[in-house]
Structure 1
């Protein structure tokens, strides 16, 4: 069985390899054998490979933080799944391989209309978006939120969940070409991430209250989100895709605005019980066309280094785990 194996933490362009691993055993009681279809290369995958992520698997071994596949066999006691069901794999389960056995109680069958490539991206971004909206800011229907990286997987998911919950969105993007994409996804206001855009927020929202800012970039972009927040608002950070891990600004205006700052990490135990509901909601968004995460390219396992280079440059990259290429 082929897998993408990590030899040691470090540079993904030297420490990953395509390996032949033993076939997984037949599924035991309450287990399922999954034939993997697709898995993304996420920002947090690259962090894990480099050894700078909270999760540190035993090495050498396969890696991969999310993905989707079809049930090939089930063990005794499994009554909610059948062979052929498409499922989302548990978080951090080392998905970059052809087949794997997992606990069946962490799986549920997706609607048949959900595309395998979209299914592969369901486990991290959509639940993150939903929790960012529900756990911070005390939002009510009609409230405004502001986010950067609005055309990312999390950003588009935030827009989908916000619309479903009656929130209105101000969306910052870093490229002019991304404006139309976020508008098509339902973003209420879509702007370039700039100081001039911050100055226009009050007029565009008709002085509406911006209760929550969602930050996936950090650095100067974080400062602009803070400037766009209303008095008593909250800002929550979930990623540092801009490459900076610090913000440099005068904090005194924030004290006067009574802004609260938070950090988000989806794997915290208190969120686990919400996952099945959030994943089902996200799968339904995909089924009816309310959520579609863009895919920049798809690579076979044999081209893992090309795939990693592409992911580092930017854009969502998927691994085709069944391709013979």
Structure 2
């Protein structure tokens, strides 16, 4: 079998290597999966660079999510050929993966690429919308990084719930595409962001979702109604955030953080299954969709990583470990 690993931290397209391993016999309670698709996520790139929230011992396998097919089972388990979510720990950038049979989530017959991207971006978007504020139809929310995969998922899920969304972009060339994707208002990030919100929205947002941090975080807080909530789940700017004391004291703004890995580690299997069940249904019905830039064979992993690290990609880059 072939497995992607990294022995040292650095740029992914430089430090990741593809090695050959001999498959080990299964123990009772284990299932061997054939990996069909595995996306390259920003979190994968950050982990390889050594900038993620948790770091495995090196050398380490990589690939935080994917879709696989049951090819061998020892003991009770799902039937051969059943498609499933590839569970953690990371290691989906491989032709095969051995996992515990218990807890595997079977998947419907749907688009392979979309099923492979079920864990990181759809789950993050879903939880950002449902975990922190009880949104009702007609509420406004505001988000940064609207062109990102998570941003697009937030838009799709918000629209399905009747929640209005103001999307903030960092370049004017992105405005039309974000409007077409369904945003109710599209705003250009800058010092006048609060004034834009006052002009374009009939009421202030109750929730802000931020993946940029830095100055954008402070500007999004300025857009919220009093007692509103802002959730930070990324730092695309590479800058620390700063919030004036007056904001905390006099406006009662609630500031929260979100990290999907922590949620997966602290949430019951029943609740995790419920979330993924809802998301799987939406994907199968075509109501939740993320654009794909290109699918690469595993042998071309360095080309795939270089592509995934480009700015202004047209969609997600995926690996097809067992062929396109």
TM-score with structure 1 setting the length = 0.89
1:93 aligns with 2:96: no
CA contact 2:193–2:223 (8 Å) conserved in 1:
no
Corresponding residue of 2:38: 39
1:20 aligns with 2:23: no
**Deviation string, structure 1 residues 121-153 (Cα, Å, up to 9, x no partner):** 111111111211222134333221111112212
Corresponding residue of 2:197: 201
Matches of 1:229 and 1:104, distance apart in 2: 45
Matches of 2:212 and 2:268, distance apart in 1: 25
1:84 aligns with 2:78: no
Matches of 1:180 and 1:30, distance apart in 2: 51
CA contact 1:90–1:123 (8 Å) conserved in 2:
no
Matches of 1:142 and 1:156, distance apart in 2: 19
**Deviation string, structure 1 residues 196-220 (Cα, Å, up to 9, x no partner):** 45423234321x2411100011122
Structure 1 runs of 4+ aligned residues shifted over 6 Å read none
In structure 2, relative to structure 1, the CA distance for the partners of 1:292 and 1:177 (3 Å cut) is: farther
**Deviation string, structure 1 residues 104-126 (Cα, Å, up to 9, x no partner):** 333222120x2111111111111
Corresponding residue of 1:133: 129
In structure 2, relative to structure 1, the CA distance for the partners of 1:276 and 1:318 (3 Å cut) is: same
CA contact 1:185–1:290 (8 Å) conserved in 2:
no
Corresponding residue of 1:293: 290
CA contact 1:150–1:172 (8 Å) conserved in 2:
yes
Q: 2:259 aligns with which of 262, 265, 276?
A: 265
Matches of 2:185 and 2:24, distance apart in 1: 49
Corresponding residue of 1:144: 140
Corresponding residue of 1:280: 277
Corresponding residue of 1:233: 228
CA contact 1:156–1:291 (8 Å) conserved in 2:
no
Corresponding residue of 1:72: 71
Paired residues in the alignment total 318
Corresponding residue of 1:3: 3
- Alignment partner of 1:3: what SS? strand
Structure 2 regions of 5+ residues with no counterpart? Answer: none
CA contact 1:24–1:99 (8 Å) conserved in 2:
no
